[in-house]
Amino acid sequence: MEKIAFIGMGNMAQALAAGFISSGKIKGEDITAFAPNQEKLHRNAEKIGFIPASDSRSAVKDAGIVIMACKPYQIIQVLEGLGDALNGKALISVAAGWDYKRYSEVLDPSVRFQFVMPNTPAMVGEGVLLFEETNSLEQEERREIMELFGTVGDVHILPSRLMGIGGAVSGCSPAFIDMLLEAFADAGVKYGLPRETAYRLIAKTALGSAALQMATGEHPGALKDKVCSPGGTTIAGVAALEEAGFRNACIKAIDAVMQRG
Q: Is 47 or 261 the better-scoring residue by pLDDT?
A: 47
Domain span at residue 149 reads 4-158
SS (H, E, C) the chain: CCCEEEECCCHHHHHHHHHHHHHCCCCHHHEEEECCCHHHHHHHHHHHCCEECCCHHHHHCCCCEEEECCCHHHHHHHHHHHHHHHCCCEEEECCCCCCHHHHHCCCCCCCEEEEEECCHHHHHCCEEEEEECCCCCCHHHHHHHHHHHHHHEEEEEECHHHHHHHHHHHHHHHHHHHHHHHHHHHHHHHCCCCHHHHHHHHHHHHHHHHHHHHHHCCCHHHHHHHHCCCCCHHHHHHHHHHHCCHHHHHHHHHHHHHHHC
Q: What is the CATH number of the domain that holds 59?
A: 3.40.50.720
Residue 99 confidence (pLDDT) above 80: yes
Residue 218 and residue 125 in one domain: no
Number of domains in the chain: 2
Q: Which of 158, 174, 201 is at the close of a domain?
A: 158
pLDDT, position 1: 82
Band of pLDDT at residue 126, cut at 50, 70 and 90: very high
Residue 82 confidence (pLDDT) above 90: yes
What does the alpha-carbon distance between residue 223 and residue 216 come to, in Å, rounded to a whole number? 10
Residue 4 confidence (pLDDT) above 90: yes
Q: Which of 109, 142, 158 is at the close of a domain?
A: 158
Band of pLDDT at residue 156, cut at 50, 70 and 90: very high
pLDDT, position 96: 87
Q: Which of 123, 158, 193 is at the close of a domain?
A: 158
The model's pLDDT over 195-251, given as tens digits with 9 standing for 90+, comes to 999 999 999 999 999 999 999 999 999 999 999 999 999 999 999 999 999 999 999
Q: What is the CATH number of the domain that holds 243?
A: 1.10.3730.10
What does the alpha-carbon distance between residue 40 and residue 42 come to, in Å, rounded to a whole number? 5
Band of pLDDT at residue 28, cut at 50, 70 and 90: very high
Residue 123 and residue 181 in one domain: no
Mean pLDDT of the chain: 95
pLDDT, position 246: 97
Residue 20 and residue 45 in one domain: yes
Band of pLDDT at residue 66, cut at 50, 70 and 90: very high
Percent of the chain with pLDDT over 90: 93
Residue 181 confidence (pLDDT) above 80: yes
Mean pLDDT of 81-87: 95
